[in-house]
Structures are given as C-alpha cells and as structure tokens.
Structure 1
Amino acid sequence: MKELIETIVTSLVDHPEAVVIKSEEDDNRITFYLSVHKEDMGKVIGKQGRVAKAIRTVIYAAGSSQQKKIYLEISE
C-alpha cells in the first residue's frame, strides 16, 4: 500500500525526493501519513481537494480486501 501511495504522489510533485510516507497500525485501522515539500502541497491537494479525494479513493479501493480501515493524512 505504501508503494502505491508513493507511486501516485511522486508522479504529481516537482520534488519527489521530499515525499515521505509513514504508517501507523492499530487493531482495526491503518493510518498513512504523507508528507510532501511545501511547494507541492497544492498539487497533492488539488482544487477543492479533488486530487486528495481521488488518491484516498484509490487507496481505499486497493485496501478493501484487508479487514482494516485505511486512512490517509496529508501534511507539509
């Protein structure tokens, strides 16, 4: 899942070396924390959050086979 997020995000940003993805797993959920360069924040979020919503949709669909809920948090 981490590789999927990295593949999607690095193709969108100007500074792919600054993309950092961390994960935290609990009993019934997995939270991925995505950090990008501050200049790339607008590209990852998109107008009215459309790009971020699309990324989350793909991740939720890819993780639907798991028994855990998947969350994606985006930060600078």
Structure 2
Amino acid sequence: MKEIDFSKLIVTLVQPLVQEPSAITVTERDTERYREYVLDVAATDVGRVIGRQGHVASALRTVVEGARNKHINAKKIRLVINDHRH
C-alpha cells in the first residue's frame, strides 16, 4: 500500500466548507510523537471549519487519523486548525 498525501486529503475535505478555498494552506511538521498538519484558512472561514462546539473539527480529525495506515505511518496524525483570533 502506498502512503496517503494527507495535505491533499485535508484540502479536499475543507474546500466545500469554506467561502474562500484559495486561502487554504496546509503546513506539515514532524514532532517526536506526531506528524502535525497545520490548517490555515481565511479568518472569516475559521468558524465554518471548527463548527459548533467543535463538531466539524472533530469529524475532520477522525477522518484524517482514520486514513492513516498503521503499518506504514508509525506516527499519529494530528490536525491543528490555526485560529486567527488568538
């Protein structure tokens, strides 16, 4: 099995949710325990990606982590949504 391009997967999942799809950027970084993907969207779209009480963000994280092949990707996948308010 081949390794999944998680950046492309995240962009594909987020594009239908936002009003400014051209503002979507995904940055990958490795930590000791995780392979983190930092999602940046337009400031006006952050609420759409997070959802009420974080339900959309939780669903996105579940899908992205579920796509990981545990045999190929030893590190867990972590999706970080950059909230421009903080």
The TM-score, its normalising length taken from structure 2, stands at 0.82
Q: Deviations over 1:9-59 (max 9, x none)?
A: 111100000001000023542000000001101100000000000000000
Q: Tell me what 1:70 maps to.
A: 77
Misfit runs of 4+, over 6 Å: none
Task: Tell me if 1:59 matches 2:64.
Answer: yes
Shift of 1:67: 1.1
Alignment match of 1:19 (pick from 20, 24, 31): 24
Q: Are the equivalent residues in 2 in contact too, given 1:28–1:67 (CA < 8 A)?
A: no
In terms of mean alpha carbon deviation, does 66-75 or 15-24 score higher?
Answer: 66-75
RMSD over aligned Cα, in angstroms? 1.2
Q: Structure 1: how far apart are the matches of 2:46 and 2:34?
A: 25
Q: In 1, Cα distance between the equivalents of 2:21 and 2:37? A: 17
More helix by share: 1
Unaligned residue ranges in structure 1 (runs of 5+) = none
Using the aligned pairs only, state the percent identity.
38
The TM-score with structure 1 as length reference comes to: 0.92
Residue-pair matches, total: 76
Q: Which structure has the greater CA radius of gyration?
A: 2
Runs of 5+ in structure 2 lacking a partner? 1-5
